[in-house]
Amino acid sequence: MPELKQPAAITAEEEVYLYLLQAIREGFYPGGARLVAEDIAQHMAMSRMPVRAAFRRLASEGLIHSRPNRGYVVSGLTAKEMSEVFEVRSVLEGLAARLAAPHVDAGRIEELMAAMEASGQARSDDWVARHRALHEYICGLSGRPKLIRQIGALHTQIEPYMRIWFSRQDAPLESRSDHDALIGVLLDGDADRIDVAFQRHILDTAPALIQTLGLK
């Protein structure tokens, strides 16, 4: 099981939820993996009640689901489902970017892009986390908590697949110029162009990911 990190002052349910969320994001529990409440509770030195509560929360976000006689399993994605995730994400992030544009700090954007580029050049699997951090920064500036949570859940669904995809590439997934163009549109502040640019940026990723991973 993944290493337990020292939790802050949070509830037991929140601790389990965050632990499982990170484990799913990093691919420790891949699609189809069964989650055993007793094992997780023992590993985290707590009762099964907060573990089951965390399961229900993850299920409400579509990250796990219940199967008869198997309990909860991690949701895997077919090619069609993967396409749908990217389609929905493109619309939501286009909206978030429109709302975020007036609040973007160009210096912070440059820091995040530089960190992502360095990870890509070094072939570090940290690239996926850096890429997500860039998108989370932008979406976070939208000031729409429900929108941000929905986008975050979609990122979590695809992150394990992104990590596998990255590991199979001979070069960084996206060039710096790709993101430079995207961020240039964002900083220009034209809401309609921002929406279109972010949707295209996200949608263009899905076909290559599906093909590389051989999803059916």
CATH assignment at residue 55 = 1.10.10.10
- 93 and 196 inside one domain: yes
Token reading at 107? 């210096």
Q: How does the average pLDDT of the chain come out, rounded?
A: 89
- 38 and 124 inside one domain: no
- Dihedral angle computed from the Cα positions of residues 83, 85, 91 and 97, in that order, rounded to the nearest 10 degrees: -120
Quick one: pLDDT band at residue 7, thresholds 50, 70, 90?
A: low
Asked if residue 152 belongs to a domain, the reply is: yes
- 70 and 90 inside one domain: no
Per-residue H/E/C for 44-90: CCCCHHHHHHHHHHHHHCCCEEEECCCEEEECCCCHHHHHHHHHHHH
Q: Is 70 exceeded by the pLDDT of residue 180? A: yes
- 63 and 127 inside one domain: no
Q: Is 80 exceeded by the pLDDT of residue 123? A: no
The model's pTM: 0.79
Please state which of the ranges 57-61, 131-135, 195-199 shows the lowest mean pLDDT.
57-61
What would the pLDDT profile of 32-83 be if each residue is shown by its tens digit?
A: 899 999 999 999 999 999 999 999 999 988 889 998 877 899 988 899 999 9
**C-beta neighbour count of 89 within 10 angstroms:** 25
- 91 and 105 inside one domain: yes
Quick one: pLDDT band at residue 84, thresholds 50, 70, 90?
A: very high
**C-beta neighbour count of 142 within 10 angstroms:** 20
* Nearest alpha-carbon partner for 215 in 84, 70, 42: 84
> Three-state SS for 30?
coil
Q: Please say whether the beta carbons of 176 and 87 come within 8 A.
A: no
Find the mean pLDDT for residues 154-180: 78
- 100 and 201 inside one domain: yes
- 206 and 116 inside one domain: yes
- 116 and 33 inside one domain: no
Find the mean pLDDT for residues 112-127: 85
Q: How many whole angstroms separate alpha carbon 25 and alpha carbon 30?
A: 9
Report the helix count and the strand count for the chain, using DSSP H and E: 10, 3
Quick one: pLDDT band at residue 163, thresholds 50, 70, 90?
A: confident
Position 96 scores a pLDDT of 98
Give the DSSP letter string of 100-117: HGGG--HHHHHHHHHHHH
Number of residues that this document lists for the chain = 216
Position 208 scores a pLDDT of 86
Q: Please say whether the beta carbons of 194 and 94 come within 8 A.
A: yes
- Relative orientation angle of helices 79-100 and 191-203, to the nearest 10 degrees: 160
The identity of residue 213, as a single letter, is L
Counted domains in the chain: 2
- 86 and 45 inside one domain: no
In percent, how much of the chain has pLDDT > 90?
60
**Residues 6 or more apart in contact with residue 211 via CB below 8 angstroms:** none
What would the pLDDT profile of 153-162 be if each residue is shown by its tens digit?
A: 899 889 888 8
Q: Is 60 exceeded by the pLDDT of residue 26? A: yes
Position 62 scores a pLDDT of 84
* Domain that residue 97 falls in: 79-213
When comparing pLDDT for 67 and 174, which is higher?
67
Position 174 scores a pLDDT of 56
Quick one: pLDDT band at residue 141, thresholds 50, 70, 90?
A: very high
* Nearest alpha-carbon partner for 152 in 56, 34, 35, 18: 18
